[in-house]
Amino acid sequence: MTGKIDELFSAFPWYTDGERNLVASAWEFMQERKGDTLRRDGEPFLEHPLRVAKILAELNLDAESLACALLHGTMEELGLSEDELTERFGKTVAALVSGTSKVSALKTGKKTLHGAESVRRMFFAMIADLRIILIRLADRLDRMRHLKGYPEETQRSIAQETIDIWAPLANRLGISSIKDELEDLSLKYINREVFDHIKSIVASKKGERAGYLEQAEAEIRKAASSAGIRISVKSRAKHFWSIYQKMKKRNKAADELYDLLAMRVLCDTPNECYAVLGLVHTVWKPLEGRFKDYIAMPKANGYQSLHTTVMCYGGQPLEIQIRTHEMHRVAENGIASHWLYKKGTNRDSVSVDGLSVINSLREASADQYTDEEFLANIRSEILGDSIYVFTPRGDVIELPAGSTAIDFAYAIHTAVGEKIVGAKADGAIIPLSQALKNTQVVEVITHPQAHPTANQYNNVHTAKARQKIRAWLQENEPQSGFEKKEAHDTEKTVAHTGFAHHKGNSPQEDAAERAFDAAVLKIRVGDTTNFLIKFAACCTPSPPDPIIGYVSRGRGIIIHRQGCPNLARIPEIDRRSIPVEWEIPPEEKKRKK
| pTM metric for this prediction | 0.64
The pLDDT of residue 421 is 92
Question: Distance between CA 453 and CA 473 in Å, rounded?
Answer: 7
What does the pLDDT average to over 167-177?
85
* Single-letter code of the amino acid located at 365: S
Q: Of 71-75, 76-80, 210-214, 403-407, which one has max mean pLDDT? A: 403-407
Mind listing the pLDDT tens digit for each residue in 448-460? 889 999 889 888 9
pLDDT band at 187 (very low <50, low <70, confident <90, very high): very high
Beta partners for residue 119, in sequence order: none
pLDDT band at 269 (very low <50, low <70, confident <90, very high): very high
How far is the CA of 366 from the CAs of 356, 486, 538, 566, in angstroms? 15, 20, 10, 8
Any idea which of 25-29, 264-268, 364-368 has the lowest mean pLDDT?
364-368
If one counts every other C-beta atom within 10 angstroms of the C-beta of residue 438, the result is: 13
Topology of the domain comprising 3-190? Hypothetical protein af1432 (1.10.3210)
The pLDDT of residue 142 is 95
Q: Does domain 199-339 have CATH number 3.30.460.10?
A: yes
The pLDDT of residue 475 is 82
Task: Give the residue extent of every domain in the chain.
Answer: 3-190, 199-339, 383-485, 492-592
The pLDDT of residue 513 is 38
Any idea which of 50-64, 77-91, 269-283 has the lowest mean pLDDT?
77-91
Which CATH code of 3.40.430.10, 3.10.20.30, 3.40.50.720, 3.90.1570.10 fits the domain covering 383-485? Answer: 3.10.20.30
Contacts for 548 with CB less than 8 Å, ≥ 6 apart? 559, 560, 561, 562, 567, 577, 578, 579, 580
Give phi and psi for 307, each to the nearest 5.
-120, 130
The pLDDT of residue 280 is 94
pLDDT band at 553 (very low <50, low <70, confident <90, very high): low
The pLDDT of residue 478 is 67
Contacts for 568 with CB less than 8 Å, ≥ 6 apart? none
Question: Distance between CA 501 and CA 180 in Å, rounded?
Answer: 44
